[in-house]
Amino acid sequence: MTAEYFLVLGLIGVAFFAVAGALLGYEKNISGFGVVVVATVTALGGGTLRDILLSKPIFWIETPDYLYSTYAAIIATVLLIRYLPSVNNYYFLMVDAIGMAIFNIMGIEKALISGTGLVVAITMGITTGIFGSLIRDVICREVPSVMRNEPYASACLAGGLVYAALFSQDISYIWCILGSLITTISLRLGSLHWGWHITIFRKKDREVSQKSEVRNS
């Protein structure tokens, strides 16, 4: 991927995540400055952690355009909220899914550019995609989306695997990106619409474990 495409994709990604953060801040009725903090952390948190782990310059410090995109998205969201009669939670879920999918790709790409293998690159994609929203949810006293039994990090993983499969076949970058985007967004929004869940431990196992703990106490 060329530097220009990477920058454009990144600017779109931080904008979507900034919108998601601002919408959640509005829903939680926090102050104006609080909305800016939540939106900024959401937009920049995942990429910041990625760059620290890869020992790279922090992306928004090296290229302030990411900051400008973040602040512009926050202002646009605030104005939109002020002039819309109501803001449906669907908008938050949609922009959050798109932002996560874009950041997943950015994390994979930056890791590959840094010379890592595909497994590390996929892990960096997941980290970039979920960390900003994790901080956002904690600040807003929400159960983090990544901690629920619905596809979130697993949607990133699926998108990363699709990207890796296409990339390993020397398929054009645009198809790698589209394949990953469609997979991640479809899994995330599909899980919310149809109630898909990922359960590792069966409820029965948890109940037996809890009863055993009560007996031993």
Which positions ≥6 away from 20 have C-beta within 8 Å? 39, 42, 92, 95, 96, 99, 133, 136
Q: Is the pLDDT of residue 79 over 70?
A: yes
Q: Which residue has the higher pLDDT, 63 or 88?
A: 63
Average pLDDT over residues 28-57: 92
Averaged confidence pLDDT in the chain = 86
- List pLDDT tens digits, range 111-133: 998 999 999 999 999 999 999 98
pTM: 0.84
Q: What is the longest distance spanned by two Cα atoms in the chain?
A: 62
At residue 203 the predicted structure's pLDDT band, cuts being 50, 70 and 90, is low
At residue 26 the predicted structure's pLDDT band, cuts being 50, 70 and 90, is confident
